[in-house]
Structure 1
Amino acid sequence: MNSVQVMVMEHDYILRMLNVVRKACYKVMKGEDINYDDFYKMIEFIKNYADEHHHGKEEKFLFKEMQTKLGKLGENLITHGMLVEHDLGRLYMSDLRDALERVKNGDEESKLDIISNAVGYTHLLKRHIAKENDAVYKFGETNLPKEIIDEINLKTEAFELEAEKKGTQKYYVDVLENLEKRYL
């Protein structure tokens, strides 16, 4: 698999987690007890798999080359588009964690913040993933020189192998599948 194929496959896992997050929020909305451990697992998946593992490859390899090699259009697309959305996603997750803590400490009104941050994140990421899959990745593959694409593919392969040695992919797919059994 080349780097873009790996990233698209990861998007599929991330989209599945977004469905879990939404279903968990629906339970909160209906007044069911919050399963804090499950929410923390969702946040862990998003922080470590979606952000550090997946976005890490995008930011270190593909996006970096697009910023430096594709002129003003590449710079603007990545710097003022994709990276801004990555940062916004991080803010949603930070605010979600804070809201969970407030509710645990008795602030019932912060359930609104749990739902709004979690669902806001799902909406952001669904649109973000569609842009990457349908436009950003294709723009990069079409316009970056072949030798740069080959270098990105090699770096991605090495990154994936190192993560595989640590069990990263398997661990987070297992987390996802366990949460899907409870929420979907």
Structure 2
Amino acid sequence: MYGIELLIKEHENIIQFTEVLKKLSVRLLEGEELNIELLKQCVEFGKYYSDKQHHGKEEKILFRVMIEKLGPVASKLIKNGMLVEHDLGRYHMTKLLEAIDLYETDKSSEVKIQLICHATGYADLLKRHIDKENAVVYTFAERSLSEEDKELVNKETEIFEKEASKNKVQERYLSWLKGVSKKIL
């Protein structure tokens, strides 16, 4: 199923990104000076690639179809699980950006703890979240959606991706991830 295959591929990129966040957190913990611009780029990647691009497809396409077609079980799984975790990820990104801004004028241990807490909290959340989606949510969708509904997800995903391609979303963020991974990991 194209839509789900693409989401799984994006998960691999997001996991690589979380490794960058963890490595930057370790470096800060060990006393290295924080590269503020790099951390701001990490927040941008989290907000635009992980959330707007990836979670956008899940929420607007796959999850919507699952809730509409698969009833209460899917609705509980999505609304009480996956969407709650998406919102928690957004919280971590917002708080991380606030901590970055604060760090520019206050390099205290308290601010460093906020940076580490939200960067690693986000990384851990996404790792567990991705494991659940790959093992439970996506397999449930593939097993339970009709062929017609799967085709609808695929078509809407193609449209979403064409728009992102026009704006070079994937190209820009994956190029950034490749470069930063070489430097950091």
Q: Calculate percent identity across the aligned residue pairs.
A: 41
Tell me the secondary structure at the aligned position of residue 32 of structure 2. coil
Match of residue 184 from structure 2: 183
Quote the offset at 1:35 in angstroms: 0.2
The yes-or-no answer on 1:55 pairing with 2:55 is yes
CA deviation vs aligned residue, 1:81-109 (integer Å, no higher than 9, x gap): 00000000000000111111111111512
Match of residue 42 from structure 1: 42
Task: Point out 4+ residue stretches in structure 1 off by more than 6 angstroms.
Answer: none
Q: Give the AA of the match of 1:138.
A: T
How far apart, in 2, do the equivalents of 1:162 and 1:75 lie?
28
CA deviation vs aligned residue, 1:136-184 (integer Å, no higher than 9, x gap): 0010111111111101100101111121121110100011011112211
Any stretches of 5+ residues in structure 1 without a counterpart? Answer: none
How far apart, in 1, do the equivalents of 2:180 and 2:132 lie?
26
How far apart, in 2, do the equivalents of 1:104 and 1:162 lie?
36
Q: Give the AA of the match of 2:172.
A: Y
How far apart, in 2, do the equivalents of 1:161 and 1:168 lie?
10
Q: Tell which deviates more after alignment, 160-169 or 57-66.
A: 160-169
The yes-or-no answer on 1:95 pairing with 2:82 is no
Match of residue 70 from structure 1: 70
Q: Give the AA of the match of 1:124.
A: L
Q: TM-score, normalised by structure 1?
A: 0.97
Any stretches of 5+ residues in structure 2 without a counterpart? Answer: none
Q: Tell which deviates more after alignment, 75-84 or 141-150.
A: 141-150
How large is the RMSD of aligned CA atoms in angstroms? 0.9
Match of residue 118 from structure 2: 117
Residues 35 and 107 of structure 1, relative CA distance in 2, 3 Å threshold: closer
Structure with the bigger RCO (C-alpha within 8 Å, sep 6+) is 2
Q: Give the AA of the match of 1:71.
A: G
Q: Tell which deviates more after alignment, 87-96 or 143-152.
A: 143-152
Q: TM-score, normalised by structure 2?
A: 0.97
Match of residue 29 from structure 2: 29
